[in-house]
Structure 1
């Protein structure tokens, strides 16, 4: 989860700054170095991250790759960077030459937004022409985050990554082919389905008709699958809400709200009125605590008051929504937690 959040933060930064970044050097510093840091490597430690790493090629001396990440004095990943505005496809030949003369099994080509990871699956010590892992950092899927995590310093295992790279590479290519066939079906793809449902001769006219039918059929199938999953998720959420409402009704039938709890609620309202209108601050009493919610939403607790036991507490909520109990001598002590209460409102309003 931490890696996912770090990548999301970097992605937001890239979206916000990219139009202000003009050069390759700026791209490195603003986009690529933070990504290396996210992988757990210290960009200020020259034994871990070496900028302008020398990769002499035959009679060509002084050839340098932008960064090399080291482990135990050996390079484990070389990185070639380009300006974020440049397409990567025209630059992999340069990285191909560097890969051949280093001991690394992995190479990364990036413009700070698009990332392409290569290895040597096809021929030992010779970089493959196609990446085994490719993603856009501003739109990273959960399964890709899992693959990125394997390059983290704490997880890095050459054999594990290489063994998995083959299936990744082919799955990636298969997905591309599926996308191509759905958006622009080939004759072979159309014939595959037309032969199963059409008994006549597949003339050019018939093929043109079936090309459109196959495309529509696949789009409808995908749409129905998506709708089925959405409906299942909606029904599950509705069922959960109904269960919560029933439990709440049962709880409320056993609850007696005290005047002290109502007075404490009025203190919380007095604190929060500088940020919220009164009608958004709602109390909900339960058997175990007196809760105060934002917008009457039990997923947005502002605080909880525990006033019916031997000791009194106020339960405060932070960004991760876990409750932290603080002892209070009297309800007047609620004023001591003014900042925490206002910060909680700020978290919900920001989200």
Structure 2
């Protein structure tokens, strides 16, 4: 654990410096020099030695081509890691094809890195030998590292990529496990949101219901399966999170009654619980899921506010309880006012403003992640 702690401290220091100077890195060359080389050095590669880190290595099937990879990390005289560099703020996903071509051209390369100096994407060839995978198996975000600790699983992966530990076969095994795990999580989240006919049929067959028509599954049972997922998985997890938070901080969120005569109603508490549960269902990644734990509420005379981290800057919406069964939700623009008797009508603006607040205020250190749920 000492090595991981030291690596985290080094990378966090680089992250803090990089986020200060990145606005002065106005082209690819300055990005390489001031933002990317320090990270290469942090992984133990001596970028002052051309026998270790070779710049502008030819990388093309064609003889005499001028196509070159920005940096190649060498091992026994052959390139094993290809690093493609882009200017700060570049759209990295749109640049992956270029790195993929270098990956294939350099037959000895086993790891590809695509970076703009702030975001570092790491690729291997799990799906097809010598063909770079379409998605990175690990990503290092230096901007996020200035707001919250670099996750342990990311540090463990980076430690395996360091000069003292780099073994291509071990890295490929790790990448395969991480990619499959990520794809399984994405699949399960998608099935929870919109259960497929195949999953519905399988679950219903386990209940003894056979020979079901597809139309019957779609119109009658699909919503039941989706609700069952939410009741069996999402709600218990959020209850566990809420209990854990209450034990850690008995005063958060706001107390239900105050000296000003403001009493938090059952309906307002139900809205708060729904928001937490629904965001757990709508969250697209671990960062969003963990950030749910930072939601709080504040009750006022005539309205009830739900916010993330900060009551003003982190406001998600104001809730005004209706007397006729229709409640009003007031979101910051462009969300606006929504008057409804169906809570699911707020899903889209709720998730949008929640995602925006995380970007603006940062994600706090996770309390519990999906991977920890089953621990």
Q: Same fold (TM over 0.5)?
A: yes
Is 1:45 the counterpart of 2:49 in the alignment?
yes
Structure 1 CA distance for aligned equivalents of residues 109 and 218 of structure 2 = 54
Is 1:160 the counterpart of 2:164 in the alignment?
no
1:221 maps to what in 2?
A: 236
Unaligned runs of 5+ in 1: 236-351
2:89 maps to what in 1?
A: 85
Q: C-alpha displacement at 1:2, in angstroms? A: 0.5
1:129 maps to what in 2?
A: 134
Query: Is the CA contact (8 Å cut-off) linking 2:200 and 2:221 kept in structure 1?
Result: no
Q: TM-score, normalised by structure 2?
A: 0.54
Aligned length: 234
Q: TM-score, normalised by structure 1?
A: 0.57
1:14 maps to what in 2?
A: 18
Q: C-alpha displacement at 1:147, in angstroms? A: 0.7
Query: Is the CA contact (8 Å cut-off) linking 2:59 and 2:69 kept in structure 1?
Result: yes
What does 1:59-138 align with in structure 2 at a 5 Å threshold?
59=63, 61-102=65-106, 103-137=108-142, 138=144
Alignment partner of 1:108: what SS? strand
Change (3 A) 1:154 1:221: same
Query: Is the CA contact (8 Å cut-off) linking 2:55 and 2:71 kept in structure 1?
Result: yes
Q: C-alpha displacement at 1:34, in angstroms? A: 1.1
Unaligned runs of 5+ in 2: 251-375
Q: C-alpha displacement at 1:169, in angstroms? A: 1.8
Q: 2:200 aligns with which of 151, 166, 191?
A: 191
Structure 2 CA distance for aligned equivalents of residues 50 and 21 of structure 1 = 22
Instruction: State the Cα deviation string for residues 179-206 of structure 1 (Å, max 9, x = none).
Output: 5456x43445983798489x99555376
Q: Which has the higher contact order (CA 8 A, sep 6+)?
A: 2
Change (3 A) 1:109 1:232: same
- Structure with larger Rg: 1
Structure 1 CA distance for aligned equivalents of residues 55 and 65 of structure 2 = 17
Instruction: State the Cα deviation string for residues 93-149 of structure 1 (Å, max 9, x = none).
Output: 111111112111111112223222222223322222233323423343111100100
What does 1:1-351 align with in structure 2 at a 5 Å threshold?
1-59=5-63, 61-102=65-106, 103-137=108-142, 138-139=144-145, 140-181=150-191, 184-188=193-197, 191=200, 195=204, 202=217, 204=219, 207=222, 211=226, 214-215=229-230, 218-230=233-245
